[in-house]
């Protein structure tokens, strides 16, 4: 990718997209989102950490930063001229921008995932899922791109348009320059990120975690989906899970805004993303705020989680049948 004698690290985001033959309107859209992140960074660094006095559809109190980040992204997408529909985790309904779908894209986004971590100075991120045309209620396998921006000690951007996963870092001029291309995840890892409450795990998940611990796998969990997934991508190994819990069969994370885009990126990097029973990307959302359980990361670890869950469910149904 880099010209002879020119370090690939001087390749900025727009050039990388163009040299990867990404369609012009999609190049423009991804670069507009990257531009918006510069204003979101500023709001994180200097913004009001208080509450906005409103709550989202989930009844979760919206922080001023949630609302601010949402407004920044909405304005950019609205004025981009290439968006047909958009949907924010912070909003109740799909926001129509243009009735003309031809050559346009629809975007589902979580403007500031993990925002409650900002006031304890932990890393947070923006998650983006992009479909071609007007329809957002599609299987995640139909995404044409997914990306996230991670606001941590460094601000980094990771994207895929279906030809590998590539990481960029923001420099002192607030430009995103290429750090690495074609990130790959090994089949088995040595770290795990267990979300939710362990005492509410179902027997299959509990048995899977005990096996990880017996194998000496290390626990690494920040409480932020973006940094926790970024860790697995950049270390090239590991598994994150926010499983189905007793009385919460769907877990916590949202399919459209969080799971589908991250599953797209992780599968592009050679990993896997499952509900515990099958691929996340095969799910077709019935409504925009659908949740799903998730096991995502190193392929063999995800397959092992599915096996523990399947075997335990078989045992339980046999026990029930035997009365
Ligand atoms: P918020 O966006 O409400 O802070 O939640 C963040 C999140 O959706 C995701 O980023 C984390 O992986 C998950 O919640 C952590 O949930 P627990 O705090 O229940 O472990």
Digit-coded pLDDT (tens) for 282-306: 999 999 999 999 999 999 999 999 9
Give the pLDDT band of residue 61 (cuts 50, 70, 90).
low
Distance 166 CA to ligand 1 centre (A): 25
Q: What mean pLDDT comes out for the span 18-44?
A: 96
Share above pLDDT 90 across residues of the chain, in percent, rounded to a whole number: 84
114 CA from centroid of ligand 1 (Å): 6
Mutate to test the pocket of ligand 1, among 127, 242, 297 (most ligand atoms within 8 A of CB): 242
User: pTM for this structure?
Assistant: 0.94
Q: Is residue 261 lining ligand 1, measured as CB closer than 6 Å? A: no
Calpha distance 58→215 (Å, rounded): 37
Q: Could you tell me if the CB of 223 is within 6 A of ligand 1?
A: yes
Domain boundaries, the chain: 8-180, 191-321
CA 55 vs CA 71, 78, 104, 228, 278: distances in Å: 15, 23, 31, 25, 32
Question: Which protein residue has the closest C-alpha to ligand 1 atom 2?
Answer: 114
CATH topology of domain 191-321: D-Maltodextrin-Binding Protein; domain 2 (3.40.190)
Residue closest via CA to ligand 1's atom 3 equals 114
Whether 113 is in the pocket of ligand 1, judged by its Cβ within 6 Å, is yes
CA of 44 to the centre of ligand 1 (A): 17
CA 88 to ligand 1 center in whole angstroms: 16
Residue 37 has which token pair? 């992140």
Paired with 150 in beta bridges are 125, 156
CB crowding 120-153: b at 16 or more within 10 Å, else e: eeebbbbbbbbbbbbebbbebeebbbbbbbbbee
Q: Looking at the domain that runs over 8-180, which CATH code has it been given? A: 3.30.540.10
- Work out the angle at residue 60's Cα, subtended by the Cα atoms of residues 197 and 198, and round it to the nearest 5 degrees: 0
| pLDDT value at residue 1 | 53
What is the structure's pLDDT at 6?
Answer: 52
């Amino acid at each position: 990718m880099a010209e002879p004698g020119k370090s690939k690290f001087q390749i900025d985001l727009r050039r990388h997209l163009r040299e990867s033959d990404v369609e012009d309107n999609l190049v423009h859209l991804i670069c507009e989102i990257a531009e918006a992140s510069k204003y979101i960074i500023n709001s994180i660094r200097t913004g009001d950490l208080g509450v906005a006095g409103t709550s989202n559809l989930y009844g979760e109190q919206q922080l001023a930063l949630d609302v601010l980040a949402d407004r920044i992204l909405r304005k950019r997408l609205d004025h981009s001229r290439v968006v047909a529909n958009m949907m924010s985790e912070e909003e109740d309904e799909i926001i129509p921008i243009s009735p003309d779908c031809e050559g346009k894209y629809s975007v589902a986004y979580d403007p500031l995932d993990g925002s409650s971590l900002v006031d304890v100075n932990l890393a947070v991120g923006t998650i983006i899922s992009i479909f071609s045309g007007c329809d957002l209620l599609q299987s995640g396998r139909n995404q044409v791109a997914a990306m996230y921006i991670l606001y941590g000690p460094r601000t980094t951007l990771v994207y895929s348009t279906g030809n590998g996963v590539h990481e960029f870092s923001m420099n002192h001029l607030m430009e995103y320059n290429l750090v690495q291309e074609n990130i790959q995840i090994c089949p088995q890892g040595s770290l795990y990120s267990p979300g939710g409450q362990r005492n509410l795990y179902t027997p299959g998940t509990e048995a899977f975690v005990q096996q990880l611990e017996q194998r000496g796998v290390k626990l690494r969990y920040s409480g932020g989906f973006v940094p926790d997934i970024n860790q697995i991508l950049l270390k090239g190994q590991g598994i994150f899970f926010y499983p189905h819990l007793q009385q919460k069969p769907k877990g916590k994370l949202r399919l459209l805004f969080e799971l589908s885009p991250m599953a797209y990126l992780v599968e592009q990097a050679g990993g896997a993303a499952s509900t515990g029973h099958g691929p996340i990307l095969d799910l077709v959302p019935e409504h925009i705020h659908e949740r799903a359980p998730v096991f995502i990361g190193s392929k063999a670890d995800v397959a092992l989680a599915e096996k523990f869950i399947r075997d335990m469910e078989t045992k339980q149904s046999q026990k029930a049948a035997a009365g």
